[in-house]
Amino acid sequence: MENGAPESWVIDNHKDGLFRVHRRTFTDPHVLALEKERVFAQCWLYAGHESEIPNPGDFRTRQVAGRPVILVRGTDGQVRVLLNTCTHRGAQVCREKSGTTKTFQCAYHAWTYNNQGELVGVPGEDAYSEAFDRRQLGLVTAPRTESYRGFVFVSFNPAMENLVSYLAGAREYLDLVCDQSENGMEIISGTQLYSMRANWKLLVENSIDGYHALPTHKRYFLEFLPDTGVEVQRMRIAGTAKSLGNGHAVIANPEIPFGRPVADWIPAWGEAKKAEIEAMYQKLIARFGAEHAYNIAKVSRNLLIFPNLIINDIMSVTVRTFFPLAPDYIEISAWALAPKEESPENRVLRLDNFLTFLGPGGFATPDDVEMLEACQRGYANVREVEWSDISRGMTRQAPLASDELQMQVFWRRWNELITGSRPARVREAA
């Protein structure tokens, strides 16, 4: 570690109810190097959704933890995450964003792979020796790939524990998302791609931060919402925060009238929509019982799946992931998720809602970007002002969404991985 590193990155003082994080964790390239090795090369990371590649041959390319990958459904129907690098001399073999194909041909020397990653064509193969074996030169898959109800994750640690046990209590919250549909949820085509000049952990904190909502998004809550007929003064802010194990956490807010085209009507959609949305809610009650239906439809959630997957189940369902290219720079990808059977009309309402608040040009995201970049700029003073305080509600029996328990949960797990005090759990056989 660089000279002058603090003895500890995190102060977790239960006795006095104080929690502090050293600001070098947001600025120091050595910390980022440790994160790449101990967090991003270990943990399960979201790679995409099965609905993005519904048919054999469908593929999408993207970055997962800085690695170019191809999310592809092979002719055999299996979903794979192939590392997008030619086994010849390394070029990315697929340079398209998405498509449907039987083969990927590298543009450099034209080696050809099928959509299951096998090397099926090498121009002038007779120039190679006996020892050259195509069967060993297929595209390499991510060391581990597993899905949970359509969400595809990869881990670059071959010995990582299985996905379901890694998800721990977060699984129940993914179920609340997936149960919104009888036929399965799908990613709506189109990706929001944006970046910010801020450390990635600031976006983790912000994505599950109930405390900032009113001051940061004043324009939305005090101007926009009242204009659409929402009685903001009657909003019941009674949210809670919960640790879900393994660094995952959630904040859940009942009955904030954001509107959700599965079962939560708002005035902006007009009286005519009211009965249809209420009927959807009754259907959920019939399928799952009153309590589960209420939790699905009337409670909004911001879910963190450690380290870098956020599912905002408010208005629409937003799936967001991000990766640091530098201590002070991240790239973010976000998608909208919706029931497959949703009517075109309701799809429009959903997308409208998705873009109005959480879109990169919406009411919320630009405010958040400005605040996170302001934090990052503030850290230029790190030598004199070393610590951030994340203690809010620390001694409260049942922490609120406006407390900071959910961030403490993240930071504790982060600290365990970075310091090696509790490394990533591995499979029994490993």
Among 30, 89, 236, 377, which residue interacts with ligand FES (rule: CB under 6 A)? 89
Q: How far apart are CA 279 and CA 288, in angstroms?
A: 14
User: Could you tell me the smallest distance in angstroms from the CB atom of residue 294 to Fe ion?
Assistant: 25
Q: How far does CA 224 lie from the centroid of its chain? A: 27
Residue 242, strand partner residues: 250
Name the nearest CA neighbour of 128 among 145, 114, 111, 149. 111
Which of the residues 110 through 129 are near ligand FES (CB under 6 A)? 110-111
**Per CB under 6 A, 90 contacts ligand FES:** yes
Among 106, 167, 319, 401, which residue interacts with ligand FES (rule: CB under 6 A)? 106
User: Could you tell me the smallest distance in angstroms from the CB atom of residue 91 to ligand FES?
Assistant: 4
User: Could you tell me the smallest distance in angstroms from the CB atom of residue 106 to ligand FES?
Assistant: 3
E strands in 316-394: 316-326, 329-339, 387-389
**Per CB under 6 A, 95 contacts ligand FES:** no
Q: How far is CA 202 from CA 125, 209, 365, in A?
A: 51, 10, 13
Which of the residues 3 through 42 are near Fe ion (CB under 5 A)? none
Structure tokens at 218: 């004043």
DSSP alpha helices (H): ranges in 289-330? 290-297
Q: How far apart are CA 174 and CA 172, in angstroms?
A: 6
What burial letters (b/e) apply to 371-408, b meaning 16+ CB within 10 Å? Answer: bbeebbeebeebeeeebbebbbbbeeeebbbbbbbbbb
**Between 125 and 223, CB nearer to Fe ion:** 223
89 is in the binding site of which of ligand FES, Fe ion, none (Cβ under 5 to 8 A by kind)?
ligand FES
Q: How far does CA 39 lie from the centroid of its chain? A: 15
Q: Interface with ligand FES by CB under 6 A: which range of 105-113, 151-159, 176-184, 363-371?
A: 105-113
109 is in the binding site of which of Fe ion, ligand FES, none (Cβ under 5 to 8 A by kind)?
ligand FES
**Between 95 and 109, CB nearer to ligand FES:** 109
Structure tokens at 348: 């429009």
Name the nearest CA neighbour of 303 among 247, 220, 238. 247
**Between 112 and 147, CB nearer to ligand FES:** 112
Q: How far apart are CA 428 and CA 373, in angstroms?
A: 43
**Per CB under 6 A, 108 contacts ligand FES:** yes
Q: Binders of ligand FES: how many residues, by CB under 6 A?
A: 10
User: Could you tell me the smallest distance in angstroms from the CB atom of residue 303 to Fe ion?
Assistant: 15
Which of the residues 360 through 419 are near Fe ion (CB under 5 A)? 364, 368
Q: How far apart are CA 322 and CA 308, in angstroms?
A: 6
**Between 6 and 121, CB nearer to ligand FES:** 121
368 is in the binding site of which of Fe ion, ligand FES, none (Cβ under 5 to 8 A by kind)?
Fe ion
**Per CB under 6 A, 132 contacts ligand FES:** no
Q: Interface with Fe ion by CB under 5 A: which range of 29-37, 222-230, 356-364, 400-408?
A: 356-364
- Determine how β-strand 112-114 pairs with β-strand 119-121: antiparallel
User: Could you tell me the smallest distance in angstroms from the CB atom of residue 32 to ligand FES?
Assistant: 29
CB of 87 within 8 A of CB of 113?
Answer: no
DSSP alpha helices (H): ranges in 87-159? none
132 is in the binding site of which of Fe ion, ligand FES, none (Cβ under 5 to 8 A by kind)?
none
Q: Interface with ligand FES by CB under 6 A: which range of 39-47, 106-114, 135-143, 236-244?
A: 106-114
Binding track, positions 49-88, relative to ligand FES; x by CB under 6 A = -------------------------------------x-x
CB of 117 within 8 A of CB of 88?
Answer: no
Helix (H) or strand (E) holding 242: strand 240-245
User: Could you tell me the smallest distance in angstroms from the CB atom of residue 105 to ligand FES?
Assistant: 8
Q: How far apart are CA 284 and CA 289, in angstroms?
A: 7
**Per CB under 6 A, 137 contacts ligand FES:** no
Contact set with ligand FES (CB under 6 A) = 86, 88-91, 106, 108-111
Contact positions vs Fe ion (CB under 5 A): 364, 368
